[in-house]
Amino acid sequence: MGDTSPPRRVRVAAVDDHPIVVAGLASLLSRSSGSDPEGGVAAELAPRNAPRIEWLGESPTLTALQARLAEWDPAPDVILYDLYLNDGSDPAEGIASLVERGITVVILTSELRPVPIRQAIKAGATGLILKSDETEKILDVIRAAGLGHFAVSSDLAFVLATDENLVPNLAPRELEVLRLLAEGVPRKSVGNQLTPPVKLATVVTYLNRIAKRYKELGRDVKTSQDAIRAAVEDGYLDPPGGVGPH
């Protein structure tokens, strides 16, 4: 006889400060019976007995989520984490704090820039859901995460999370030079604001290295403004007037 035991439950919560997104999540996950999906990541991993999803609720900030964690017993198995919360928290630090508590974190975002996504994965996130992806794919990722597997909601999500040819690996000092230039600091003054200070020739060397790394990926970066623009596009730098999409 086959296994007739009931599928395990995956307790899910979210930290997201957009009411419409949260309402849609609550509706989707509350309706989900957790029955075997037809195809998709979770079906391949657990075709006979896919876990049932239990929706616990949401919090608009990391602080509010941490307070609710004290109320939930047991704690959520999976937390869906929006990368841009209007609470001043750092997403990588927030994700790492949850992972340290033994909670699986899945990124839930509209972000299409690779760097913030990869920083979150480096901090311990074990899945990526793009808010624009199909609902059944969202369920697939949550079930897979509940089983301890890394999963993504689409081919685009996979590329953003893994393709090493999308963005160059920029060193911290190189990024600091770009940040200062983006803030309007004259090139001749940038070196004096670094710790320790460096000469203008060293700043120029950093900029040349940045341009070279971009050119190796087939991207046309020649000037410091080109480099700043590329760094914003990749997510190394925040866009002017905001921190990025939700």
pLDDT at 47 over 50: no
| Domain range summary for the chain, segments of one domain joined by + | 9-162, 172-234
Task: Sort strands 78-81 and 52-59 into parallel, antiparallel or unpaired.
Answer: unpaired
For the domain made up of 172-234, the CATH class stated in words is: mainly alpha
- How much is the average pLDDT of 164-182? 96
Q: Calculate helix-pair angle for 200-216, 172-182, nearest 10 degrees.
A: 100
**What three-state secondary structure class fits 57?**
strand
pLDDT at 195 over 90: yes
pLDDT computed for residue 212 by the predictor = 97
Phi and psi at residue 224, in whole multiples of 5°? Answer: -65, -35
DSSP lists the bridge partners of residue 55 as 12
Assign 246 a pLDDT band (cuts: 50, 70, 90).
low
CATH of 9-162, one of 3.40.50.2300, 1.10.520.10, 3.40.50.1100, 2.40.30.10: 3.40.50.2300
pLDDT digit string (tens) for 89-122? 999 999 999 999 999 999 999 999 999 999 999 9
Note whether 244 and 235 are within 8 A (CB).
yes
pLDDT computed for residue 245 by the predictor = 65
